[in-house]
A and B are shown apart, each in its own frame.
Chain A
């Protein structure tokens, strides 16, 4: 399978703990995006990388959130001191070029903060 993969698929944690998610984009896609989706809502943009450079961050990305893409390939999204409001599906997408039609999404990581 050469699609976007995310790990883990599910994560349950207690409030105050740190969690880290991983995204492996489609090979040679230089653009990588993170989105968050809560129940019944559409995905909300969090941040965007072109190669290893983080070029855009949403206001939704508070100081407790950090994302990296150290070698321009896989990316990690870390949430520190998790809160119940962080419970959501975290989606990663990759794209080979500009264009609203070019994003390929992974299956997401579902986070539940107790």
Chain B
């Protein structure tokens, strides 16, 4: 499993766009990039996954450059309810059991 590095914490204000970058220099050819979100006292929940270029859904966008050694999670116009920890995970589609390997995550604080 590729090791990931992401900022420990970030602050933002309501209405701003937030970009969280994750480094994964040792990403393998078969690896996908997956992001989970965790609110206090809840389990993580999946928000977006991509392999290359750009992926967008109703929650976020994921930008992946051609070399795939990093990725950026973009949250448009954040609100107070986006305050959470965001985890970047990198792994193969068929990793043994698909167990998720979480790093420390990025703690996002959205202020009014």
> Which residues of chain A have a CB within 8 Å of any CB of chain B?
4, 31, 33, 35, 40-45, 48, 50, 55-56, 58, 91-93, 95, 98-108, 110
Contact = CB atoms under 8 A, between A and B. Distances in A.
A42 B103 contact: yes
A100 B43 contact: no
A53 to B, nearest CB: 11
A56 B42 contact: no
A44 B44 CA distance: 12
Interface of B: 32, 34, 41-46, 49, 85, 87, 89, 91, 93-105
Give the most central of B34, B44, B85, B103: most A CB within 10 Å.
Answer: B44
A84 to B, nearest CB: 21
A108 B42 contact: yes
B46 A91 contact: no
A44 B98 contact: no
B97 A55 contact: yes
Contact of B95 (A44, A55, A100): A100
B97 A105 contact: no
A105 B36 CA distance: 11
Given A41-B104, A42-B103, A100-B34, A105 B43 contact: yes
Contact of A108 (B43, B85, B100): B43
B43 A93 contact: yes
Contacts of A44: 102
Contacts of A106: 43
Contact of A98 (B41, B49, B94, B100): B94
Contact of A103 (B41, B95, B98): B98
A45 to B, nearest CB: 4
A104 to B, nearest CB: 8
